[in-house]
Amino acid sequence: MRSARKTATLLGGVAVVAALALAGCSPSTGSGDSSGPVSQADIDKAMNTPTTITFWSWVPDLKNEVALFEKKYPKIKVNTVNVGSGADQYTKLRTALKAGKGAPDAVQIEYQYISSFRLTNSLEDLSKYGADKLGSEYVDWVWNQVSDGGVWGIPQDSGPLGNLYRTDIMQQAGVTDPPKTWDEYAADAQKVKDNTSSYISNLPGNDPGQMVGFFWQAGAKPFGYDGKKSVKIDLDSADTQKVVSYWNDLIQKGLVSTDADFNDNWYQGFNSGKYAGWPSPAWAPVFLQGSAKATAGKWAAAKIPQWNAGDDVSGNWGGSGDSVLSSSQHKIAAYELIKFINNDKESTLQFANKQFLFPTLKSTLADPSFVDLKSDFYGGQQVNKLFTGISDTVDVKFEWLPFMDYVYSSYNDTLGKAISDKTDLKKGLTDWQTAVVAYAKKQGFTVTQ
């Protein structure tokens, strides 16, 4: 019927017009704040106005620290939401930012992703609220991660790499002292394999963060970003090849397992004693004390093995800060929130002692209740003292690329896959370099190597 066709055309026309109208809508990029510093009067006014702000973070039991903040500023109500950890949260955050709504006021962002959010102008420069004065209170290399032509976040925790090991299994294998060099580590791995049914540790195929931590310790500087259009990608350098060949060797000899981490199978591996160790940072107990509770008390921590005898260098794996989004309608309140929980003495001590987040605030690192803490999980060892020492040996300058989402996801397809399939890791490393360079060029960056 002709009228039916006309109706269909009309509906189709409506649809096209609506779609084009929507296409013309661009997401709001922020409330266009003026660039001057914010006065104390403005801050006081904002903190005395009843406001509700949203805070996305995956730190467990965060509500305890937030409660301290709400006690100090009763007019501000904070909704803490856990939308997922790491990459899962960033995916949702990017979608919300692109859509122009649904994004929170404050958000937890790991240091390596800060530049990717700066690229889209999503982060608020906190120096106008006085954050630049906080720099001296934090550990140097961590402050470098959040400040670069402005202050983009307040550091919360870091992950200086150590070596966690099961005292009982190592004893059974005949290893008396934790290995001081990677050569010793390999020899111990053989002892563990020969005398026990465990592996000295597991090298997962899906954890680029750990591998980059190893690169960091080996002195490699695989990433660089000038803040504008130029990136440096040097994943296939002599230092990284050294690391990769080492692990390739251990895998080929069957001295380490290659299970994916942070899933059920992996936690069961700890519970059953399949893994006698984990080269991991101070936050490891956050995960182990829950899912591998049965092993509590049997762990000890040591410094990570060195490449050259006598060296004392570590790398970092993980750690995040909190940032304020430029799209937030309550920037002052959000800033005061993240400043409080990451700067207030009681709050930071709680993070450190109750939640095992390794602190970045110098005063917390020096606080006796933190330093002298005897951890039950580590059989009474004063681990914090050890990790504070390690934190000082982390290389100060380490940069990231402004698209770490892609870098990490392509790891799983290249080097990670080689680890998991137990094939040539060096080829996996080269493939990873190729993939990342291709992506950078496709996105319009100038690539130097």
Q: Quick one: which of 4, 39, 50, 264 contacts other proteins (CB under 8 A)?
A: 264
Closest to other proteins by CB, 171 vs 263, is 263
Q: Quick one: which of 42, 346, 372, 421 contacts other proteins (CB under 8 A)?
A: 421
Q: Virtual CA dihedral for 25, 29, 31, 34, nearest 10 degrees?
A: -130
Closest to other proteins by CB, 20 vs 41, is 20
Residue 153 found at the interface with other proteins (CB under 8 A) = no
* Long-range pairs, 132-140, Cβ under 8 A, ≥24: 134/339, 134/343, 137/343, 137/361, 137/362, 137/363, 138/360, 138/361, 138/362, 139/360, 139/362, 139/365, 139/391, 140/396
Residues 6+ apart with CB under 8 A from 117: 93, 109, 123, 152, 323
Q: Quick one: which of 11, 67, 99, 438 contacts other proteins (CB under 8 A)?
A: 11
Are the beta carbons of 342 and 142 closer than 8 angstroms? no
Q: Under the phi-then-psi rule, with left for phi > 0, alpha for psi from -120 to 50, and beta for the rest, what region is 32?
A: left
Q: Quick one: which of 402, 425, 432, 433 contacts other proteins (CB under 8 A)?
A: 402
**Least gap, CB of 350 to other proteins (angstroms):** 31
Are the beta carbons of 183 and 308 closer than 8 angstroms? no
Residue 5 found at the interface with other proteins (CB under 8 A) = no
Residue 424 found at the interface with other proteins (CB under 8 A) = no
Residue 138 found at the interface with other proteins (CB under 8 A) = no
**The residue type at 356:** F
Q: Quick one: which of 85, 144, 353, 412 contacts other proteins (CB under 8 A)?
A: 412
Of 58-97, binders to other proteins (CB under 8 A) are: 87, 91, 94-95
- Which region, judged by CB under 8 A, interacts with other proteins, from 9-17, 212-220, 342-350, 353-361? 9-17
Q: Quick one: which of 216, 358, 403, 432 contacts other proteins (CB under 8 A)?
A: 403
Closest to other proteins by CB, 17 vs 67, is 17
Closest to other proteins by CB, 19 vs 67, is 19
Of 162-221, binders to other proteins (CB under 8 A) are: 205-206
- Tell me, by CB under 8 A, how many residues bind other proteins: 46
Residue 272 found at the interface with other proteins (CB under 8 A) = yes
Closest to other proteins by CB, 1 vs 41, is 1
CA separation for the pair 449, 435 (Å, rounded): 14
Of 316-345, binders to other proteins (CB under 8 A) are: none
Residue 444 found at the interface with other proteins (CB under 8 A) = yes
H-helix or E-strand spanning residue 322: strand 320-324
Q: Are strands 51-56 and 106-110 parallel, antiparallel or unpaired?
A: parallel
Compute CA distances 40 → 51, 155, 261, 339, whole Å: 18, 23, 47, 15
Closest to other proteins by CB, 312 vs 413, is 413
Number of helices (H), then strands (E), in the chain: 20, 13
H-helix or E-strand spanning residue 51: strand 51-56
Closest to other proteins by CB, 277 vs 305, is 277
Q: Where are the beta strands (DSSP E) in 341-430?
A: 358-359
The full DSSP string for 294-320 is: GGTTSEEEEEPPBSSTT---B-B---E
Closest to other proteins by CB, 97 vs 131, is 97
Q: Are strands 320-324 and 154-155 parallel, antiparallel or unpaired?
A: antiparallel
**Least gap, CB of 20 to other proteins (angstroms):** 7
Are the beta carbons of 43 and 129 closer than 8 angstroms? yes
Residue 22 found at the interface with other proteins (CB under 8 A) = yes
Closest to other proteins by CB, 188 vs 207, is 207
CA separation for the pair 222, 343 (Å, rounded): 32
| Residues at the site binding other proteins, with contacts judged by CB under 8 A | 11-12, 14-16, 18-20, 22-23, 87, 91, 94-95, 98, 119, 205-206, 229, 259-260, 263-265, 268-269, 272, 274, 402-403, 405-406, 409-410, 412-413, 416-417, 419-421, 439, 442-445
